[in-house]
Structure formats: structure tokens, C-alpha cells
Structure 1
Amino acid sequence: MSPIKTTSYQELDIDYLIQELTLPEKISLLAGKDFWHTVPIPRLGLPSIRVSDGPNGIRGTKFFNSIPSNCFPCGTGLAATFNKELLVEAGELMGKEAKMKGASVILGPTCNIVRSPLGGRSFESYSEDPLLSGHAAASIVKGIQNEKVVACLKHFVCNDQEDDRKAVDTLLTDRAFREIYLKPFQIAIRDVNPHGLMTSYNKVNGEHVSQSKPIIQDILRKEFNYDGTLMSDWFGTYSTKEALDAGLNLEMPGPTRFRQAIQTLHAVQANQISEAVIDENVRYVLKLVNEGLKAQIPDDVIESANEDPAAGELLRKVGDESIVLLKNENNILPLSKTAFRGQERIAVIGPNVKAAQDSGGGSASLSARYKVTPWEGIQNKIEEGGNTVSLEYALGAFLDRNLPDVGDVLIDENGEKGIDARFYKHAPGYKGDRLLLETYKLTTSKVFLSDFKSDRLEPNDILFYADFTGTFIPDETAEYEFGASCLGTAQVFVDDVLIADNKTKQTSGDAFFLGMGTREERGSIQLEKGKSYNVRCEFGSSPTYTLPDGPVEAGGVYFGIRIKSTPEAEIKKAVALAQTVDKVVIVAGLSKEWESEGFDRADMEIPGYTNQLIEEIVKVNPNVIVVNQSGSPVTFPWLEKVPALVHAWYGGNELGNTIADVLFGDYNPSGKLSMTFPKRLQDNPSYINFGSTNGQVWYGEDVFVGYRYYEKVDVEPLYPFGYGLSYTSFKFSDLAVKVNHDTVNIKVEVTNTGKVKGAEVVQVYIQPSNPQVSRPVKELKDFNKVELEVGETKVVELNISIKEATSYYNGFKHAWQSDKDVYKVLVGNSSSDISVEGEFTTSKTFNWVGL
């Protein structure tokens, strides 16, 4: 057979390939080779390309012992920058790092809608607003594809909750479907054409999206004219014929479950599946490979971490711009690094002070190359000021759902922070040679072994054992808790004494984002300050699991250590400290244990005793600054009692530095909320229609999502969409609105009227004067960020197409409709703070379809 024909840049000749491929070879291309690769056809020189998870950073091909990555701020934090150009830079960094991991395709960004504060993956998406979501996604995709790496936009479409996510039927009107949930994808496809698109797990109006012809063929292919490759979410395929007919090009991961060679070949031979359908799907898979080859990744690439200091600088800039200042009474912020009158004392209190909440949980989580905790970031600032300000610390409250990771607490056999891991063929106590399989140095005690491999094991053998060991030196004499949860079995020993047993007694729980693991089992022991203790966790892989319906993967184990204490005792210690210092910084919120893929939050509260901690501290010290970290809204019942509140999201590698930059004024906060913060969960428009009920969820709020709802029903939120304070002040003036054929041109002057340099976000909302259908009061239609020196004025100019500025979806006509009307142009710095107004008039009503 002749070798593959190529054109310039080694581009695949797709027509030639389709002609030369055998039918079994074509079928083999329609699913992944494994978890991360497409299928190669060596006889035709057709290579395999690699994909990688990517919304928060590029993990590479491994969950276990992965090559460390740079972790970006979470999606809702990225969108809070309201900075399109900066997000392009972030996307370019993602593209560069994908190539370092040998990945031609990034599985991201995620642009589903933050429909509810409770959504487990809300942090991974961008916003409640489809326009902000669409522009954020388009910017990230543009940056990724500037590096010739494929961006695979996900999850198409209505994957807005985790409850019953593979089966739930999302019921909604055509209008809500178009105006809210499809809109971000429509914008990204229109503006930057992502070369990949991933279907969602759920159904929409009775049919799984991954096999829906009306959605994939009629809307995506014909109406949006999308020419990229469509792949399933992992294990998100539910049929063979229906999915192929609809145009789901690639089933992931491999090996296939629905596109087996014998069965699919038989279906083609029986005329149940047309060979033309096979060819069309193969064509799109080959297009993906073609696009992936443009990254020019060597076949023998070895995954590596990006240690370029410029990467950290960009992550810090993005993190700085994402942070939102929500409250700052009496200008208590920014803090000073130096004390002008004697020694100033600051207490830094809270469960997130010495924990690095870099991301939410699930497939977006990864092994960060480094993490800067808030304590370290604040400490660095104090050192810059000459240490005239003293820092003191108290935990105050527990946040961990399970005992905390001890990867940076234990000491390995080389005297460094970390854990020694030894994998064996045989169980502890085996009479004879246990047969050492592999050894590793780990930086985490949360070990997911789904992709553990050893050449000393037979193929598909997932029965093995591991000992995780390290030395623990307590900071104080006290009783300490040790615990473990697992997919398999686990026991934790201290100096060879069994302390925690998750082997002989196991209870079903929700460990791991797959939700298949055991409940954490704990035990405690009295330990002495400064004394060395040998800690060993003995693990058996999933075949040793004692509960029914155990996992089929190799499994994993989470084990941890924590001083045994009561919430009341920790609050008491923190309050005692708080009443002796000048100011208190409390760093609290959520973590990946509470906000993660795999489950939705049960409520909008900060878990545990954090709220009680804050309530008690403000009784003894009025100078309290709260820094909250979460990817979506939480309640703040103590808000009226604290003078300052900062929302810091999950901040990636540089989270501690970015928090400190804002607290001490080295960066003037410019972030804006990418979603509304309601006063209480019951105020949220999805409150009575969230989660799966008998396999269905009704999007009963229709198009009135987020601020669209609060404004329509006149319910005041805690903080409105687009809101964020600054250490300076701005003035909007001289708005000019002009219609140029099919575009409305908007110009507005913005002046920095304060005392420090800063950046402001110009937000443009459009409001119809005489709506013909029930419409939101106003809708965001564009935005721009402008940086200004003190006293400086700049003109911000925006051009918005008339049809995008004015249209709603007419479900009866199956088309977008722009009504003849007078439209108000409302310009301000949040959805609730409009500074200047103008208007324009359209001369006719018209309908349109497409992009």
C-alpha cells in the first residue's frame, strides 16, 4: 500500500485516506485508543494524537504521580477579570503547556451556565451570563489555538448540574435554550471556531445530546455551520447507531464500548448504519488529527513541567485581576506593610490560611507545580516592609470534609517533605518475597491510582498493594486523629500500632469525585511535641474492597492527620488571639472537597463552624477583613459586622500572592462578579427547579437566569452581577451612541477621579422600550476594561451588531427576532450601577438565523 499522501505542513489528505482505509480501520478511528489518545493506522502513516484535561491547567496523561502543572484561577475567577485580552494570554499559556505535555487537544474551556450557586462544576464554568461566558470562552480558545493547539469547548449543552448527570433530562423552552444555554457556544463558534467540541452527559428535552440529530445536525452543523470535531464526554456515549447517525464523531475514552469492530461492521453490512455515515464521522476525526498535527509535537515527547518564571508572572496577573473587593468600609484596606506608630500586630485566622485552595475538585483538579498559601503571600509582604508588622496565626475552624492532605507535613526517608510509596505484588505479612513493583516519592496523601501501571504486573492485573510511609513530627503535645478513605482497603499505623482501620470495617461513602469510595474511618493517639513518629498507610487495590459493587479500576486512598480538637476549642483560641491584635484577616470559604465535579452542594452555606468563628471574632475586634474563597456564591450572615470582604475564588498556583497583592494595595482590585450573589438560596431563580426529580429537571426560570431574574421581579441581591469595588474612583461621562448601518457604535469617557492608579470595567447593557414579549429588564451586550492613571481620561469605544444588541428568540418562527423599537443604552460598572444612558432606534422588525 502506498504511504499516506500529504500536502504542505504535512497535512493529511483526508479524501485519500477515506478512500484507502478499510471499513474495520474506519470503525476503529471512531473511538479513542485509550484514555487520552486517538487510534493510529500505522500502515497508512496515520498518527495518534493526545488530549488532556485543561480547564484549570494541563494535567497530561496521568492522574497518579502526574508531571506537575501550572494551575490557573478557576473559570468563574477568569471571567471576573472582564479582560478579553488577558484571557487570550492565559489561553496562549495553556497552549504552550499542552505542547509540553505532548497534548494536541485541550479538553476545555468549559462554558456552561452558572444556573445555580449549588452546581458542583459552577467554578469550572464562567458566568451566569451567556455573553460574558461566550466572550471568555472565545478569548481562551483564541489563545489556545494561537499556539496551534486544539481547544475542545465543553460541555455541549445544558450540563449545568452534577445530580444524575448522565441520565437527567433537561426540560426547557426553545427560547431559553437559544438565549441562555446555546449562546456561549454560538458566540465562541462565531468568533474563533474552536476545532473541537465535547457533548454533555445529559438529555435535552427527552434525548441525550450526544445522539440528538436536532441539536447536532440541525443547530450545530447547519445553523451554526460548525465544521470542527465532536467528541463525547468520557463514558458519555449511550448508543451506536443513533450517536453515529447524529454525528458524534469520536467516542471517548477508548477502548470503545459502543463502536466495537464486529458489531458495528455487522450493522453496516445489514444496512442499519450507512457506510456514508461512517465516512462522514471519520472525516471529522481526521480533521481533528490534522488540526492536532499543526502543534508539531514530536512523537517521542517526554511530558515536562513549565518552570518558566514568566508563567508564574502571568498567573499572578490573572489572579490579581480576578479578585473582587466586595466591601471596604472606612478604607480599612489596603493594609500597610509597615507600622508607623510602634509595632502593629495582624492575626491571620481561618481554615484556608495555610491551605492552598488552588482549584475546585474533579477532572479540573491537578498536581500544581507549586502553591503559595495566603499565609506565605501575606508573610512575603510583611518581609518587604521590614517586619515592622508582626503576623500571628490561629486555625479557628476546620473546613476539611476528611482529614487534610499531609503530603507537605510528613518527612520522607531523605529528610524532605513528602511521602515514600512502595508498590508490591503481595499483601503485608506475605510469607516470602512480596515482589517490589515500583517506588515513588509523592507530594500528596490523596492518591488516585486509576492509571497506575507496572511492567511487573500482568496486563489488566489490578490487584496490588502499597505502603505509604513518612515521619510525622507534631507541633504540639496533643491527641491526633489519623484517618483513611479508599477505593480498596486501607489501614493507618503509627509506630506499627493500628490507629485507623478501613479494611476490616468499611462503610460506603463518597470519597473520590467518582463517588464510589468508602467513608473515612478514623482513630486517635496521644503524641508528644517534637518527637518523630513513623506513619504507614497500608493499601490494597480495588479487588480487596469488601463492599458490594466495588470499583473496576485500580482504586486509590486518601489518608490524613489532624490534631484532635473541638470546634469550640479552636474558636476559643482564635478569639483569644484576635482580641490582642490590631487587625484580623480571616481566610475562609470552600475547598475542592465541598465544590467538585461529581456532586452538587446541598446548600449555600460555608460548612462547619466558620460563620460562628467570624461572629465571635467581631465581638472582640472591629477591624476584621474576611477573604472568601469559593467558585460560586456562599452566604455571609456576618456581613454587616465586618468592615471588609474580599472574594478570591480558587486562585491557582499564585493564590496566596494575589490575595496579598490586593490586601496590601500592590494591586488595586479590578475584578467584577461573574455571577450574582443572592442574599439567600431561596432567592435564586433555580431554587425550586434544581437537581434531578425522577430523572428530570425543569428550567422553570426560562430566560430569567441570574441578574435577569433579580431585576425582573425586583429582588435585591446581596451583590449584583458585575459588581466590584476599587481603591480609587471612576467617572463615566459623554456617552455617544451612533447607528452605522447594522452596528451601534458606543463611545464613553472614563476618568480616574481618585488617588491611585486603577482599572475599571465598562459594561454596556441594552434595554428595549416597548418589548413585544416578556424580556429581561436589560441584558449585557459588551464590555471592556480600561486602565487609568490618577486623573487620566480615556475614551472607550465599543461596536455591537444591531441584531445581537436587540434580538430575542422567537420559538414560533424558529428564528431570532429584532423588533422595531427605541433601545436604551445603559453604561455603568455593574448591572445595578448605571452611570450614563443613551438610546438608538431601529427602523424595522426582522428575523434571522445562524451565527
Structure 2
Amino acid sequence: MGISTAQSTRENGLPQHTATKQQQQQPQQLDIEQLLTQLTLEEKVSLTAGKDFWHTVPVPRLNIPSIRLSDGPNGVRGTRFFDAVPSTCLPCGTGLGATFDKDLLKRVGGLLADECRAKGAHMLLGPTINIPRAPLGGRGFESYSEDPYLAGILAGYYCQGVQDKGIVACPKHFACNDQEDQRMAFNAIVTERALREIYLAPFQIALKHCQAGAIMTAYNKINGTHAAENEHILKDILRGEWKWDGLITSDWFGTYSTTGAIKAGLDLEMPGPSRWRGDALMHAVTANKVKKSELNDRVRAVLRLVNSGLRTGIPENAPELELDRPEDRTLARQVAAQSQVLLKNEGNILPFDKDKRIAVIGPNSKIATISGGGSASLTPYYTVTPFEGVSAKASAGVEWAQGVYSHQMLPTIGSHLQTHDGREGFTIKLYNDPPEASHRELLEERTLTDSNVLFAGFDRQDLAHIWHVDAEGIFTAPESGLYDFGLCVYGTARLYIDDELIVDNVEDQRSGPSFIGCGTVEETGTKELVAGQHYKIFLRWASANSSTRVKPDGVVLFGHGGFRIAGCKRLDFDVSIMEAADLARSVDQVVLFTGLSGEWESEGQDRPHMNLPPSNDDLISAVLDANPNTVIVVQSGTPVAMPWADKAKAIVQAWFGGNETGNGIADVLYGDVNPSGKLPLTMPRRIQDNPAYSNYRCEGGRTLYGEDIYVGYRWYENIETAPLFPFGHGLSYTTFEMTNLELRQGGSNNLTVICQVENNGGRAGAQVVQVYVAAPKSQYVGRPVKELKGFTKVFLEAGETDKVEIDLDLVQATSYWDEIEDKWCSEAGTYKIMVGDSSAATNFLTKEATVEKTTWWSGL
């Protein structure tokens, strides 16, 4: 684990290896053109691929160091999945999108840059700015918004915050990486207009605001060619039309060719060691399939990245340290609170009264749902559950009921175990020899608290082809009853309780979603336990190579393997729902926490439906029947079905909130923070209503983007169907009024939208002023009813009025992609400028602006 905060930081709050003297004295930059004359062909080829999972290749003879890359996008993991150094976890992408706050996103980028320095990373793999075209995407939680303008602007400020502190930002995944189903193989069939207006637009907008130093390509194909070798998007658009000259890196294992990727402009194949750019690339160069000048261009980009890394002052192979500053906790809590979206509040049920007794109910109440699953997940410094957040504020007593569970697999058990000497967690002992060996030499012993263990980034060089782990901890049963225990493995393992075999996951293994598709399904067993009694949990595990099961097609295997030990007391849902309803009936204030988690929303798999986990809707309906004033808090990164939405008087969309999840939610529930979040996604009433319903998932190797440009609110408005909650919607504990709309036009391109915003309620709060542009009917193309083209967030004290000015580039704000001319077209005509507080505002302020002449243009 990382060293303590006191050890790892100086007075300036930054890690020791980024000391002030190093920052003040710029290291000498590489002379790239001179190096290109000195590097051998073999060295040039080596520079175009990673050294390992997180580092570029160094060339010590020419003083070219290795550069470290790290995930991103809502926290910096460092180089290890296994026993990682903790970091700050911020709200998921959709939570950040819900803030509609440019300056806050810039501060988020700055915090992540400091975390990069602590982890010795020169480049951050984020933000994710793909477009969630359907509610079911496994990585939808990582993205900011269904709207390309909102996603692009927020990404631009995030990148600015990262790069202002010297770290390279890497927006991803370029482009159309909008589903997990056959994510490395599916062919996104998309019109050029939709590609430009929806899927490339966030990158275009972000790069116009901040020239990010790198971009990561997507796994999928676009119109027949994988993104990593797609000359149209990489060479013609990104390099040619946009004149961007940063580094292009593949997603991990997302390179599919040697010559094609080099020629298209893919500078860096990740991770290493290379599968495509060793002898194969050398042979392609010597055979004149790849020009030396093309290889030199790729090497130049990598060396420019190395120079960026040198400017940070972060040493090569720096130690990974903890940061966890008080000001970082404050910012994480502020972001968590500002991400909350108050969807309903009939009768002003919220905010709660701290002096009244409250019942906290539900499956998400005593777990900290901080992030979705996959590469966005990390080990946090700490977590705060919703129950802990509410309990810290309530002064008149807090009652609790579980109601039902919401886990997909059984919950991990590691933090509920103790070592034999009384420490939290369990011990693991590593051996090369199997258990039956007459003598086993202990290689290493560690204490862990997370029993979801993936041995990726674990770099011992003395491990055998098949090696072994014994894991052991003591579990004290909190209640008597029947307990279920679960075991997922990437490898093979058996789980014992007091030497009784409970789960065997060695023979007849079944492939499942664990470990990003590398592992098995969860195999389970049961045991009757007695409250207060101690039980020895013991696991015998063998590494990935011990498994003989056939791995699924298309799954990338990485790391040495892993295991996941889980368990909990079995519930009779009928009884526990009745107990929860009885509790709700007995108090005036009730909050019910439901939702998803990193199991349901994760890289590597899409959701099969929009429903909450089994029996959650039954619990919510029963509790609402018992107490109609119950507040429902939903934690998810993407929309869920809410069949009880009309019955509920108060609903909060809380997303995955990072370290400060519980505090951020409680701050809003009790009114210490007035909610100001707005939906960055449209929430449909049912899955059948969403624009990609007929065209989601891969069929015959392709996914047809049949909704074309009509993504999100553009679709609902085009077909005149009201969603459950519209894009841009979000309530407050105060009321705002917008008046006196003015338009000030300067020249042919500049339009300033001006209005007065008054807080005419009784509390201070923030309002998001949203500017939409509605195009006149065109004889050439169909246009959305309106599109978001500007926004700003304004904070006002009770009774305060402020004048808000939002600048638009009128040509860009009125343009569509002309597929005949292969350019953007701002068509002459009269456009409506609409100002409101959501895409479905009932009281839009509207004025007209005239574009005098039709203009075609290209570039950023």
C-alpha cells in the first residue's frame, strides 16, 4: 500500500518526487530531429509500442526515458489493479455532466493532474466523451452526455484543468465506442452526417477549447474499418482537417494491424510488449510497405509525448504515493453534491428536517456505490455510504432496514474479515509450489481488505507457469441464519469454511463476466452460521494457466488471474420488505436508496434491460404505500426504469458519487446544498422509447446507427413523445425566473445571448441557463427541433438578480454537415434562439437571429 499522507506530501501538498525545485528548473528537452538521425530502425519500432501495461519504451543509450500512462477518467489508479495505491474517486462521467459547470470541471481536471503526479503518471487516460446512444451501454456511466455540445465543452474544461498543471490529457474513445457488445469487433454503420454532428463533435469541441496532448482510439470498426487504422477519422479529419498534432494511442489491445495502423496515424500501440510492431513492423519497413517517413512521423509523436513528460518534472518510474489532501476531500464532496439531480419534489418533501427521526431503507444505503466497473474503477482512499452521510447529519435518531439486496453477484467479504492478529482484512500467501508439495517456499505474504483480487500490474519475475495463493481470514457472523458464499475465479480455486468445502470452482468451469470477461460465473454454496461465532474462511487458488476451460471469443486475457470471495446472509424478501414498510409507516421522514453498481454497469458488458435489480421495484412500491412521502434516491450511471415514478412524490438521481457519495447525497437531502444538477441524459419511460431500441447490439458483425442524428432529446422531440424526465431537467429548493432576453450580434459570426436571472425563492441556489437553437425548415436536410448550443451556471442569493451573457459562434451554432459538399453548412435563414431551464421548458424565452448568407466551412 502507499505510504501515509504525512510521509508522501510536502508543505505544498504535492508528492515528494514533484518537489518545487524540480518544477522550477525545466529539464532539458529532447532534440527530436537529431534523435531521428541517431535511432536505429529497431529502436524506432520499439518506441511505437508500450514497454508494459502502463509505460512507453525507453532508449537509455540516447537518454530517452519511459513515460507512464494511467487510467482515468474519474480517478487515477496508477499502475496496479492488484493491491493498488489508493486515490481520489470522483463522480462518474454522467455525474460530472449533470453539474453543467465548466469551472468545476476545470477544477476536477486540476485535482486529477495532482493525483497523476502522486502516482508518477505523465498522461491521464480520460475523459471519456463517447455518446450514450442507448440507456443500456455498459460504459455509459463514463460518458458526460447524450448531447455532443455539453460533452465537448465539459471535456474541454476538464482537459484544460489537467494540462494547466503539465499532465497530458487523453480524451477517448475516438469514435463510436458506444456499446460493449462485441466491442472489439462490431462495425458501426453510421452516416457521415451523424458521425460529424454527434459522434466526432465532442472531440472537435473539446480540442477547440483545449489542445489535448493525446487521443485514444476506439476498439470498434467505423463503416468497415477499425478505428485504430481508420484513415478517414485519423488522417483525413483529426490530423488533416482539424490540424491536431498530438499523440494517437490505441485502446488497450485495440490495435489490429501493422501496416494499416501505422499508415493511418496510430502512433502508439498499447499495452506492451507489442503484438504488431516488433519484427513485423521492421519487416514492413524494410519491404517498403511502410515508408521510413511514416515511421518517423509516429516516432516524432511519441518523442513529443516524452518531452511533455520531461516538462512535468516527474521522474521516470517514480514511486506511487498517496495524496488525499483536505482540500481534495472538500472538492470531491462539492462535486458529489452538485451532481445530484432533483427529479421530483411534490409538496416540498425535501429538504429533510435534521431534528426529525428518519428511516433509511434500501439495498444501496449501506454500501458506497462510488463508480461503475472496469477501467474506471479504482481503490479509493475512503468511502462514505449514504447511511453514514445521513447519520452524520440527523440529530433525532436514524432507523434502518435492508428491504432487499441489489447485488448481481454476492457482495465481497474482504472488509468484513479479520486476520488472526485482529487486523481488518485477510492474508494471502504466494507460492510457486502446489498445496500437495512436500515443501512449499513462501514467496510473499500480504494483508488485503478487498476480496476482489486481480493480479494485473503484478510484476514478480520469479513466478512459475502456474503459481498458487492461500487466502485466509476470520468471519464473525453478525446474525444467525443461512449464509450464501460465492467464488468467481480467473484461474481455479476452492473455498472452505472451517475446513469444510463450500464452493468448488475447479472442475467444469463456466465462463462469465467477472474480471472483464476473463473469469467465470459466480459459483455458490451455503452454510448455517450462528451470530457472534468466528469462522475461518480459507481459499486455495491457482493462477490463470491452471484453468482448462475454453475462453470466450473476443475476450482479451491479461494479468496472472484473479479471485473474488463474496458472501452475505440470505434474506426472505417478502419478510424483509414487510419489515421495511412497517418501519416507513412509523416515521415522518423516509429515504429509500436503490440503484445499480459497478456489477450492473461495467466495461465489458451491456445491460440486458433497464430494470432495477430483482425485487427493488416491489420494495419501493411497498414503502411508498406505507409512507407516500418517502424520498427515492437512485444511484446509477445511466437511466433505469421507474414504474413507480408517478406514485413517488420525491425522486433524486444520485449517480455513482465517488469517495464522498454519502456526504454529497446527505448535503442535498438536508438542504445544506441546494440541488442544481441537470440531467445530461434523457430518461425514457420504457426501453422501447429510446432512439436506438431497434438498432442496439451487434447483429451479423454490425450495428446500424439507424436513428442517425436523432440521438437523445433530438429523437423524443422529433417523434413528439414525452420522456419520463427530459434532458436538462433538474429542480431546486428555490425558484428562478428568466426575463428580458436580448440578442447582441457582432459581425456575422458572434452572437451574445443576454437575459436576467432572478432567484425569487427563499434560498440561495444555482440555475443553469440553457440556450437552444432551432433551425428553419430546410429544403436540403431534416433538422432537429432544436439543439443545445450554449449554457452557463449562475449562483444567486435569495432575492438576487444577475445579468447572464452567453456567447455563441453563430455560424457554428447553426451548422449541419453537408454530405454532398463534405463540409459544414450554415444555411441562410432566420433561427430561433431559445433560453430555458431544460430541453422541455414550458416558458422558453425566444428571439430570432438571422444568418444573412449560406457559409460552408471546415476545421475546428
List gaps (5 residues or longer) in structure 2: 1-24
Per-residue Cα deviation, 1:169-199 (whole angstroms, up to 9, x for no partner): 1011111000000000001111101000001
Match of 1:409?
A: 416
Match of 1:398?
A: 405
SS in 2 for 1:427: coil
SS in 2 for 1:483: strand
| AA at the equivalent of 1:98 | C
Match of 1:202?
A: 220
Determine if the alignment matches structure 1 residue 49 to structure 2 residue 79: no
8 Å CA contact 1:377–1:659 kept in 2: the answer is yes
Q: CA deviation at 1:582?
A: 2.3
Q: CA deviation at 1:219?
A: 0.6
- Give the 5 Å matches for 1:104-253: 104-253=122-271
2:533 pairs with one of 521, 524, 531: 531
Per-residue Cα deviation, 1:358-396 (whole angstroms, up to 9, x for no partner): 0000010111111000011001011xxxx3x21111111
SS in 1 for 2:157: helix
Determine if the alignment matches structure 1 residue 378 to structure 2 residue 381: no
Match of 1:4?
A: none
| AA at the equivalent of 1:729 | T
Determine if the alignment matches structure 1 residue 700 to structure 2 residue 706: yes
SS in 1 for 2:604: coil
SS in 1 for 2:837: strand
8 Å CA contact 1:770–1:821 kept in 2: the answer is no
Match of 2:801?
A: 793
Per-residue Cα deviation, 1:514-543 (whole angstroms, up to 9, x for no partner): x13112111111111111111112211112
- Give the 5 Å matches for 1:509-528: 509-513=512-516, 515-528=517-530
8 Å CA contact 1:463–1:554 kept in 2: the answer is no
Match of 1:270?
A: 287
Match of 1:674?
A: 680
How far, CA to CA, are the matches of 2:233 and 2:813 in structure 1? Answer: 25
SS in 1 for 2:172: strand
Match of 1:778?
A: 786
How far, CA to CA, are the matches of 2:60 and 2:520 in structure 1? Answer: 43
Match of 2:597?
A: 591
8 Å CA contact 2:66–2:317 kept in 1: the answer is no
SS in 1 for 2:260: helix
How far, CA to CA, are the matches of 1:565 and 1:770 in structure 2? Answer: 59
Which stretch has the larger CA shift, 829-838 or 244-253?
A: 829-838
- Give the 5 Å matches for 1:612-623: 612-623=618-629
Match of 1:709?
A: 715
Call closer, same or farther: CA 1:820–1:94 in 2, change over 3 Å: same
How far, CA to CA, are the matches of 1:607 and 1:8 in structure 2? Answer: 54
How far, CA to CA, are the matches of 1:586 and 1:427 in structure 2? Answer: 48
| AA at the equivalent of 1:496 | D
- Give the 5 Å matches for 1:274-289: 274-289=291-306
Match of 1:36?
A: 54
Determine if the alignment matches structure 1 residue 607 to structure 2 residue 613: yes
SS in 2 for 1:687: coil
| AA at the equivalent of 1:130 | P
Which stretch has the larger CA shift, 146-155 or 407-416?
A: 407-416
Given the two structures, how large is their TM-score scaled by the length of structure 2?
Answer: 0.95
2:107 pairs with one of 75, 89, 93: 89
Determine if the alignment matches structure 1 residue 843 to structure 2 residue 852: yes
- Give the 5 Å matches for 1:315-394: 315-339=332-356, 344=357, 346-382=358-394, 387=395, 389-394=396-401
How far, CA to CA, are the matches of 1:573 and 1:430 in structure 2? Answer: 52
1:467 pairs with one of 467, 470, 479: 470
8 Å CA contact 1:737–1:746 kept in 2: the answer is yes
How far, CA to CA, are the matches of 2:49 and 2:76 in structure 1? Answer: 22
SS in 2 for 1:639: coil
Per-residue Cα deviation, 1:570-592 (whole angstroms, up to 9, x for no partner): 32332232222222211010000
Match of 2:824?
A: 816
SS in 1 for 2:844: strand
8 Å CA contact 1:462–1:553 kept in 2: the answer is no
Per-residue Cα deviation, 1:303-337 (whole angstroms, up to 9, x for no partner): 11112111110011111111000010100100011
8 Å CA contact 1:737–1:744 kept in 2: the answer is yes
Q: CA deviation at 1:8?
A: 6.7
Determine if the alignment matches structure 1 residue 430 to structure 2 residue 429: no
Q: CA deviation at 1:430?
A: 2.8
8 Å CA contact 2:775–2:786 kept in 1: the answer is yes
Determine if the alignment matches structure 1 residue 739 to structure 2 residue 719: no
| AA at the equivalent of 2:733 | Y
Determine if the alignment matches structure 1 residue 807 to structure 2 residue 815: yes
8 Å CA contact 2:832–2:848 kept in 1: the answer is yes
8 Å CA contact 2:404–2:571 kept in 1: the answer is no
8 Å CA contact 1:541–1:555 kept in 2: the answer is yes
| AA at the equivalent of 1:358 | I
How far, CA to CA, are the matches of 2:27 and 2:533 in structure 1? Answer: 63
| AA at the equivalent of 2:410 | L
How far, CA to CA, are the matches of 1:770 and 1:477 in structure 2? Answer: 69
RMSD: 1.4
How far, CA to CA, are the matches of 1:546 and 1:25 in structure 2? Answer: 38
Q: CA deviation at 1:114?
A: 1.2
Q: CA deviation at 1:701?
A: 0.5
> Runs of 4+ in structure 1 displaced over 3 angstroms?
549-553
Which stretch has the larger CA shift, 490-499 or 51-60?
A: 490-499
SS in 1 for 2:171: strand
Given the two structures, how large is their TM-score scaled by the length of structure 1?
Answer: 0.96
SS in 2 for 1:156: coil
How far, CA to CA, are the matches of 2:751 and 2:797 in structure 1? Answer: 29
How far, CA to CA, are the matches of 1:510 and 1:281 in structure 2? Answer: 36
Match of 1:14?
A: 32
| AA at the equivalent of 2:33 | D
Determine if the alignment matches structure 1 residue 314 to structure 2 residue 331: yes
Q: CA deviation at 1:546?
A: 3.7
Q: What percentage of residue pairs aligned between the two structures are identical?
A: 48
How far, CA to CA, are the matches of 1:70 and 1:228 in structure 2? Answer: 27
SS in 2 for 1:588: strand
Per-residue Cα deviation, 1:268-298 (whole angstroms, up to 9, x for no partner): 1221111111111111111111112221102
Q: CA deviation at 1:500?
A: 1.6
Alignment coverage as a number of residue pairs = 829
Match of 1:487?
A: 490
How far, CA to CA, are the matches of 1:520 and 1:441 in structure 2? Answer: 24
Per-residue Cα deviation, 1:558-603 (whole angstroms, up to 9, x for no partner): 1111102233233233223222222221101000000000011111
Q: CA deviation at 1:552?
A: 6.5
Match of 1:497?
A: 500
8 Å CA contact 1:689–1:700 kept in 2: the answer is yes
Match of 2:12?
A: none
How far, CA to CA, are the matches of 2:799 and 2:460 in structure 1? Answer: 65
| AA at the equivalent of 2:144 | Y
Q: CA deviation at 1:505?
A: 4.6
| AA at the equivalent of 1:53 | D
Per-residue Cα deviation, 1:38-88 (whole angstroms, up to 9, x for no partner): 111111111111000111200000010000111010001001000000100
Which stretch has the larger CA shift, 553-562 or 712-721?
A: 553-562
Q: CA deviation at 1:462?
A: 4.3
SS in 1 for 2:245: coil
8 Å CA contact 1:438–1:454 kept in 2: the answer is no
Match of 1:256?
A: 274
Match of 2:4?
A: none
8 Å CA contact 1:542–1:552 kept in 2: the answer is no
How far, CA to CA, are the matches of 2:310 and 2:158 in structure 1? Answer: 20
